[in-house]
Amino acid sequence: MAATTSRRRLPAPARRESILSAAISEFGHAGYDRARVADIAGRVGVTEPVVFQNFGTKAELFAAVLERASGELVRYLQSLHGRVSGADELVAILLGSGHHDRLHSHGGLGLIFTDAAEQRSETVIGQAFRHAHSRLIEGLASLLRQGQEEGSVRKDVEAVTLAEFVLSQIHARHFRQRHGKASRVLEEDQRGAVLAVLRSGRGPQAQGTGSRRIPS
């Protein structure tokens, strides 16, 4: 009897996960406008209709990617925080040019957020962007609260407000690099100014630590 072969069909949850993983990579490299659902399907070995059956529209697929990216970024922040001596040093790294460039390079999660901000006029993407942004702010704020308890971050401003301030500086830096000729000297001065604001008003227990070397 002739042998027959067939490709093993993935369970629905595994198939959805494989599509989502492929979409993260595709959107991260090509961007929302240039990414093609056909290419995402091709990465997984399924047809376009299968992608749409799992996620609905391209916008809904991107919204799912954004949700996953926000979770990965929060976990990354927690992991990075565990490798430094304080929340202020975490922020110093986040604002560093090398870290910023890696996060916003092709395929980086930072590019997915930047792309989402530009596409948020589309209802599905706008809702997902606001939720992901809030999730990221709260994730960073929880680490800054630890810094407030440890004395490395000022206590006279709410952690959520400080987190919004830090993220706004990251967004501003990316805007400057994308739309103009960035000055590394000015960016380092700006980073130092942000850290000074973050560390000011910490109380007597933190005096004398303001001259610590800023990690790159």
**102 neighbors 108 (Cβ within 8 angstroms):** yes
Check residue 90 and give its pLDDT.
94
Task: Say what the pLDDT of residue 213 is.
Answer: 46
Map out the domains of the chain with their CATH numbers. 65-201 (1.10.357.10)
State residue 205's pLDDT score: 42
Write down the pLDDT at residue 210: 41
- pLDDT tens for 109-151 read 888 988 898 898 999 999 999 999 999 999 999 999 999 999 9
Contact 73, 136 (CB under 8 A): yes
- Say how far apart CA 15 and CA 51 lie, in whole Å: 9
* Residues 82-117 pLDDT 10s: 999 999 999 999 988 777 777 777 777 888 988 898
Residue found by looking up tokens 């697929």 in the block: 61
pLDDT score recorded for residue 208: 42
The whole-number pLDDT of residue 203 equals: 46
Task: State pLDDT tens for residues 49-81.
Answer: 999 999 999 999 999 999 999 999 999 999 999
Instruction: Please tell me the predicted confidence (pLDDT) of residue 109.
Output: 83
| 201 backbone φψ class: left, alpha, beta (φ>0; ψ -120 to 50) | left
5-20 pLDDT tens trace? 345 677 888 999 999 9
Q: Are 61 and 145 in contact (CB under 8 A)?
A: no
Please tell me the pTM assigned to this model. 0.81
